[in-house]
Amino acid sequence: MKKTKLRIIHETNPQKYFPVLYELAKTGQVELTGSHRYSVCKEWLRAWLRDRTSFKQRNQNALKDFLFRLRIPFVKNETIVLGFAPWDWRLLIYRHLAKHNKIVYHTSWHDWRLDKTPRQPKLNGVKSYMQKQWHRFVNHPNVRVVAVTPVVAKTVQQETGVIATVIPHAVPDVFFTAGKNRNHRPNGTLKLLYVGEISEKKGIKVLIELMTQLTDKDVNLTVVGNGPLANLVENGPTNIHYLGPIFDREKLAKIMAQHDVLMLLSQKTKNWEELFGIVIVEAIAAGCAVIASDHIGPREIFNKKTNTGLYNQSAHSEVYAALNNMQQDRTKIQELREAQNVASQFSMLTLKTMWQKAIEQP
């Protein structure tokens, strides 16, 4: 049987968001013909400012991505997984791939109404034009849509008429391994962890204020990531330890397994709230409990259950009280872990068959 030729195009990091596809390529079930960032110049800058990617690596990535753009008219008979936000103008570049290839468009955006997507053109006329182009694209006979959650699939169908297949983000096996090997500590310092973009919308200012209030408690916070508020973290209270960005997934998994609670106190903006949040499931797999804002992504992960560590984004005193209780009584952490026991449904093994079917479907 002829192998599927697979290519991945993603906004920032194909390997992070599609570990199942890389695993299928590694085991020889598909042939990975390439992986690309959808933006050339913007990604070059983002990788420098946020990820601290080396100058050499940024140039190599940008050159490869630019050369692929030139090759688009000549790419044929491939299955291309495409992942970036609706209404983004770069669709005008990549939509031509649908003429001679099968496209699997992957989306985690939960609201496809005109003014609710994160990549909004500033002019209303341009915005409406891009919406029409996106609707036409997802309805193309060579395009299939994969949604990260049922809520995403519902909004895609409501706004475009397209029925999407639901396949959640996958958690690499290293996080489950780290969780099995972790040492559960019955007492001692309560170790909190934040992983991700260090920005206001991700709740960094809220976390810093929270840790300021907890300076007299036996609680500390480790921060992993980079972003515009990194200096605030570095110069924050003494109970905050900043590690910077960590890209090695196995190393990150081991760090998670050394902590008790992942914190994700995201704050809504005009056209953004926390979506699926793969870091939540990775942390659960590694044995952490999670405290997060009650945004649409975390709610979907926990299947809208109550008592699962989700708080209104303004309920800072309630979060403080929960952490204080955990520090005094470690059974509270274990109770939360048990309520959040959802990681297995996002394992590589569980999702492998679903992805195989999606990319091999005629």
Q: Where are the domains of the chain?
A: 4-170+348-360, 173-345
* Residue 189 vs residue 44, higher pLDDT: 189
Instruction: Quote the CA–CA distance of 89 and 121 in Å, as a whole number.
Output: 8
332, 326 Cβ separation under 8 angstroms: yes
Predicted confidence (pLDDT) at residue 46 exceeds the cutoff of 90: no
pLDDT score at 39: 86
Per-residue pLDDT at 121? 79
Look at 23-27, 85-89, 121-125 and tell me which has the smallest mean pLDDT. 121-125
For 297-320, write each residue's pLDDT tens digit: 999 898 877 678 999 999 999 999
**What is residue 1's predicted lDDT score, i.e. its pLDDT?**
61
264 - beta bridge partners?
A: 292
pLDDT over 70 percentage in the chain: 99
Q: What rounded mean pLDDT belongs to the chain?
A: 92
Q: Is the pLDDT confidence value at 40 over 90?
A: no
Q: What is the pLDDT of residues 153-194, one digit of tens each?
A: 999 999 999 999 999 999 999 999 999 999 877 778 999 999
Give me the mean pLDDT over the 111-121 stretch: 84
Query: Which pLDDT score is estimated for 361?
Result: 81
- One fold for 4-170+348-360 and 173-345: yes
The CATH architecture of the domain made up of 4-170+348-360 is 3-Layer(aba) Sandwich (3.40)
| C-alpha distances in Å from residue 87, one per residue of 12, 107, 121, 146 | 17, 12, 8, 17
pLDDT above 90 for 218: yes
- Give the SS3 label for residue 347: strand
> What confidence score (pLDDT) does residue 234 get?
94
Instruction: Report the alpha-carbon distance of residue 60 to residue 63 in Å, rounded.
Output: 5
CA-closest candidate to residue 52, choices 243, 205, 193: 243
Report the pLDDT value the prediction gives residue 69, as an integer from 0 to 100. 92
Architecture of domain 173-345: 3-Layer(aba) Sandwich (3.40)
Q: What is the pTM of this model?
A: 0.84
Helix, strand, coil in percent for the chain, rounding step 5: 45, 20, 35
**Each residue of 266-306: pLDDT tens digit?**
999 888 899 888 899 999 999 999 999 999 999 989 887 76
Give the residue carrying structure tokens 């390439």. Answer: 34
Interval 237-255 mean pLDDT: 95
